[in-house]
Chain A
Amino acid sequence: MLRDTIVITILNIALPVLYFGVIWAYGRAFFSDTTWAKEQKSTMLAVVVLTHLLYLVLRTITFDHPPVTTIFEILSVLAFAVAITYAVIERTSKAKETGYFILNIAFFFQLTSTLFIRDLLEVPQILRSSWFGFHVTSALIGYAAITISAAYGFLYLMLYHEIKANRFGVIYKKLPTLETLERMNFIAIILAFAFLTFAILAGFIWLPQAFENFSYLDPKLLGTVALWLLYGVGIAARQRGTLRGRTIMALSIIAFFIALFSMSVINLFFSGFHRFS
Chain B
Amino acid sequence: MNTVCVGISHQTAPAELRALLHFSPEEIRAVLPRIRALGVSECVLISSVDRTELYAAGAKSAPPVDELVKFLSSEKGGSSPLQSGSFFTLKGSDAAAHLLRAAAGLDSMIIGDMSAFTAIREARLIAQEAGTIGFLLGQFIAAAENVYDRARTQTLIANGSVSVSSAAVELAQRIFEDLTQRRALIIGAGETAQTTAKLLHAEGIGSLTIAHKNQERASQLAASVEGIAVPFETLRDLLPKIDIVIASLQSEPHVLTSKDIKAVQKYRHGQTLFLIDCGIPHNVDPFAGELENVFLYDLDTLNLMVRENIARRRAHAPDVENIVREELKRLVTWHSSLESSPTIEALSDVIEKIRVEELSKEIHRFTSQDRKAVEDLTKRITNRIVQIPARHLTSGHEGGLLDRLHNVILVRKLFGLDSRESDSSESD
Contacts and interface: CB of A to CB of B under 8 A. Distances in A.
Interface string B160-188: 00000000000101111110000000000
B271 interface: yes
Contacts of B269: 241-244
Interface in A174-214: 176-180, 183
* In the complex, the 10 A-B pairs of residues with the closest C-beta atoms, listed nearest first: A179-B177, A245-B293, A241-B269, A244-B270, A180-B177, A177-B177, A178-B175, A166-B301, A179-B176, A245-B270
Contact of A177 (B174, B292, B305): B174
A163 interface: yes
Interface in B269-313: 269-272, 289, 292-293, 295, 297, 301, 304-305, 308
Contacts of B173: 177
Contacts of B292: 245-247
Contacts of A246: 270, 292-293
A159 B295 CA distance: 12
A118 interface: no
Q: Which of B174, B289, B301 has the most CB of A within 10 A?
A: B174
A242 B174 CA distance: 23
Nearest to A245: B293
Given A244-B270, A245-B272, A166 B305 contact: yes
A164 B272 contact: no
8 contacts: A159-B174, A164-B289, A178-B175, A241-B269, A245-B271, A245-B272, A246-B292, A247-B292
Contacts of B308: 168
A8 B382 CA distance: 74
A163 B175 CA distance: 9
Contacts of B270: 243-247
Interface of B is mostly: mixed
A179 B305 contact: no
B295 A164 contact: yes
Contacts of B304: 166
Contacts of A183: 177
Contact of B305 (A168, A243, A244): A168
B251 to A, nearest CB: 26
A13 to B, nearest CB: 39
B154 to A, nearest CB: 10
A179 B175 contact: yes
Interface string A131-174: 00000000000000000000000000001000110101000100
Contacts of A172: 174
B267 to A, nearest CB: 11
Interface residues of A, number: 19
Nearest to B300: A166
Nearest to B289: A164
B239 to A, nearest CB: 16
A241 B269 CA distance: 6
Nearest to B176: A179
Contacts of A242: 269
A245 B293 CA distance: 7
A247 B270 CA distance: 9
Nearest to B171: A163
Contacts of A243: 269-270
B295 A179 contact: no
A241 B271 contact: yes
Contacts of B301: 166
Contacts of A176: 177
A29 to B, nearest CB: 15
A218 to B, nearest CB: 37
Interface string B329-348: 00000000000000000000
Interface string A238-255: 000111111100000000
A247 to B, nearest CB: 6
A109 B270 CA distance: 36
Given A159-B174, A245-B271, 11 more contacts: A166-B297, A177-B173, A178-B175, A179-B175, A179-B272, A244-B269, A244-B270, A244-B271, A246-B292, A246-B293, A247-B292
B101 to A, nearest CB: 24
Interface in B124-183: 171, 173-178
B315 to A, nearest CB: 14
B271 A178 contact: no
A84 to B, nearest CB: 24
A241 B292 CA distance: 15
B290 to A, nearest CB: 9
Q: Report which residue of B270, B271, B304, B308 has the largest number of chain A beta carbons within 10 angstroms of its beta carbon.
A: B270
Contacts of A177: 173-177
Contacts of A247: 270, 292
A183 B297 CA distance: 25
Nearest to B271: A244
A163 B274 CA distance: 11
Contacts of B272: 178-179, 244-245
A2 to B, nearest CB: 53
A161 B177 CA distance: 18
| Residue among A159, A166, A168, A245 with the highest chain B CB neighbour number at 10 A | A168
A98 to B, nearest CB: 14
Contacts of A244: 269-272, 293
Interface in B225-277: 269-272
A163 B177 contact: no
Contacts of B178: 179
B178 to A, nearest CB: 8
A185 B269 CA distance: 18
Nearest to B302: A166
Contacts of B177: 176-177, 179-180, 183
Contacts of A241: 269, 271
Contacts of A178: 174-176, 272
A168 B304 CA distance: 10
B326 to A, nearest CB: 20
B28 to A, nearest CB: 38
A183 B175 CA distance: 12
Contact of B295 (A163, A168, A180): A163
A176 B174 CA distance: 7
Nearest to A248: B270
Nearest to A93: B177
